Amino acid sequence: MFKMEDISMSPSNTQDLDLLTFEGDVFLPVTENDFNISSYLTGDASSEVTLDVATIVVPDMKYSPPNQFIPISPRGPPERKDESEKCNFVVEIDGSRTQKKKFLYSYLLNRIYVEMGSNFSVNFNWDVSKVPDREMYIRATVVFADPDQGEKRVERCFQHVHAQWNAETTDAVVVNNVLRSARELGDPNVYYCGNPDETDCWYSVLVRLNRPTGHAYSFVCKNSCGSGINRRAIDIIFTLEDSRGIVYGRQSVGARACSCPRRDMKGNEEELKAAGGKRRKLPPKENPIKKVKLELVTNDDNQVVTLPKIDIVGPRAAITSLKVANSMMEQQRATNRSHQQSVEELDRCITAIKKIIDNLESKYKLNVL
């Protein structure tokens, strides 16, 4: 064995230690399976029992950090076809246990009826022997049920996006999604996917599960809201995925976020029974070509209006009102450009209103989305 007092390392492949003094004797045991320490000592050090200075050459070693999961945000309209053959994936909702709660489930319509902000639980089951990993992911994506609306992304209405209780988060992906996990924001096993700036990037909630089990969700917008869902029927598409985003199962459930779940469910079931007890199918289209409606710009839309001096209670309400006006003017500017019309006045007004918004947000230390 070797006795070392001072050790210094060469600068090429080592770190220099100006003074590294070990108190007492430091012994390096050597067995027949150990590496030959003499190969790491420069000079004729192997023949000395006591070394005043030795240089240990440390091999280059690179640290490999653990793999970090990065969730995928799918693009384009989500696939709707049910898929259960790969691993017997099943989505289950126990309607018998929802009678005294704020949500109901209609077996007849395959639809959830729930109050906004109330949790509803969904159970997921699959054959664990037919999936590659123990940990799998459930993605919940809200879509419009009508195929004619299928290319439009579902997002929250303007009113609920700017509600004060959104102060719990400033993440635009979370704020604009109509669906939430019942777990607290920041849970390491829940991911909110999507991109507010790219309309072909759908919002979804991705949850990591290590076994077949249930998960609770809630809606933060209503079907009846004037914008956003805007009284249109919606479905939730649940997909079972691995960490790479490969889909192993898919199943859809209808949903309605409303103020009176029992009344709405009863009314919809009666309508279906009156129609013959089967879901009504849309008639086939004669022309599959998508029609785009073009709106002509009128002179009134480009007329500059000077508002009288008004008082608004609450800085958040004032900023929100200005942002609504700014958003509408930006849409008008895009329309004018598409029709090769003047945007000079619009640019001037947009610049002025943005300056006012920035000043108000700075003064009251607010960041209204």
Give me the tens of pLDDT residue by residue for the chain, a chain 369 residues long. 444 444 444 444 444 434 344 444 444 444 444 444 444 444 444 444 444 444 444 444 444 445 678 888 888 889 999 999 999 999 998 776 665 668 899 999 999 999 999 999 999 999 999 999 889 999 999 999 998 888 899 999 988 888 766 667 889 999 999 999 999 999 999 999 999 999 889 999 999 999 999 999 999 999 998 888 999 999 999 999 999 999 999 999 999 999 999 999 999 999 998 887 655 444 344 444 444 444 444 456 678 888 888 888 888 888 888 888 887 787 777 777 766 678 788 889 989 988 898 888 888 887 766
Is 243 part of any domain? yes
Indicate whether 174 and 224 sit together in one domain. Answer: yes
Is 332 part of any domain? yes
Query: Distance between CA atoms of 250 and 78, rounded to whole angstroms?
Result: 11
CB-based contact 144:151 (threshold 8 Å): no
pTM of the predicted model as reported, rounded to 2 decimal places: 0.59
Indicate whether 199 and 237 sit together in one domain. Answer: yes
Indicate whether 56 and 205 sit together in one domain. Answer: no
Indicate whether 113 and 262 sit together in one domain. Answer: yes
Query: Distance between CA atoms of 155 and 163, rounded to whole angstroms?
Result: 15
258 is in an annotated binding site: no
Indicate whether 206 and 304 sit together in one domain. Answer: no
Is 84 part of any domain? no
Is 75 part of any domain? no
Is 350 part of any domain? yes
Can you give the residue range of the structural domain that contains 37?
1-60
To 5 degrees, how large is the angle CA 58–CA 64–CA 68?
Answer: 165
221 is in an annotated binding site: yes
193 is in an annotated binding site: no
Q: What is the structure's pLDDT at 369?
A: 62
